[in-house]
């Protein structure tokens, strides 16, 4: 519903503001509200099949756990636990896109596999203790992103370089949502490995949260209408 969408945007804005300005209390209040608001909006505004509703709510519940764990993104233990929660979410998204007819295509999967291998090599060189859990998470992210980018999900959309160009059909925005999610997660790794001063970490966290909130909205928006 419109009110819930406005509340989601407001919670995302407060979360980003808290990250950029160092007001941690703002994040603690607003960030855990993001996925529940998105879930409530989607369930209220859509006509989901019971199985899809169950998978969606489970995925967003896992994302909420991950959001809380990543309130302290500089704690590697919380980062690993958060990645595990988001792996559950990505697996749920993969199931949703598969149920709606998405299938992996080599031309879409190969660039994502290359990026996954590159990220794994970088982690191994810079933070070996993070390599296994984050690479495992990356596999679930890449799978969900590959399925979300399948052109068959949005047959009327133009496809450029393996990405559906968004149009009026919410299904055409799935690929962009997956791309933004990938960018957000890539920035988490970059922040952990290369951001050494407080100002850079906070600004990067603001971009991470902005791309994350936008990605989640785009990915879930398609489920507001029952489009099997």
Asked if 164 and 175 touch (Cβ cutoff 8 Å), the reply is: yes
How far apart, in Å, do the first and last CA atoms of the chain sit?
A: 21
- Write the pLDDT tens digit of every residue in 59-111: 999 999 999 999 998 899 999 999 999 999 999 999 999 999 999 999 899 99
Q: What is the pLDDT of residue 40?
A: 93
Q: Provide the pLDDT for residue 203.
A: 96
Successive 10-residue mean pLDDT values, the chain, 228 residues: 89 97 94 96 81 95 97 93 98 96 93 94 95 97 95 86 82 93 96 93 97 96 66
| Confidence (pTM) | 0.93
* CATH class assigned to 2-224: mainly alpha
């Amino acid at each position: 519903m419109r009110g819930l969408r406005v509340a989601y945007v407001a919670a995302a804005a407060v979360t980003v503001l808290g990250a950029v300005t160092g007001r941690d209390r703002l994040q603690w209040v607003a960030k855990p509200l993001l996925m529940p608001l998105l879930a409530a909006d989607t369930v209220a505004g859509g006509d989901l099949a019971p199985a899809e509703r169950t998978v969606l709510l489970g995925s967003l519940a896992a994302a909420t756990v991950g959001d809380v764990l990543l309130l302290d993104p500089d704690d590697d233990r919380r980062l690993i636990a958060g990645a595990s929660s988001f792996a559950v979410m990505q697996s749920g998204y993969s199931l949703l896109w598969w149920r709606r007819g998405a299938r992996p295509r080599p031309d879409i999967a190969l660039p994502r596999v290359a990026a996954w291998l590159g990220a794994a090599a970088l982690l191994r060189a810079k933070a070996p203790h993070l390599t296994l859990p984050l690479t495992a998470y990356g596999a679930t992210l890449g799978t969900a992103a590959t399925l979300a980018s399948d052109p068959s999900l949005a047959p009327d959309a133009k496809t450029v370089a393996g990405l559906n160009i968004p149009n009026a059909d919410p299904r055409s925005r799935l690929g962009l949502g997956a791309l933004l999610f990938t960018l957000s997660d890539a920035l988490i790794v970059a922040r952990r490995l290369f951001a050494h001063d407080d100002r850079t970490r906070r600004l990067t966290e603001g971009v991470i949260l902005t791309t994350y909130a936008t990605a989640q909205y785009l990915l879930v928006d398609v489920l507001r209408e029952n489009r099997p």
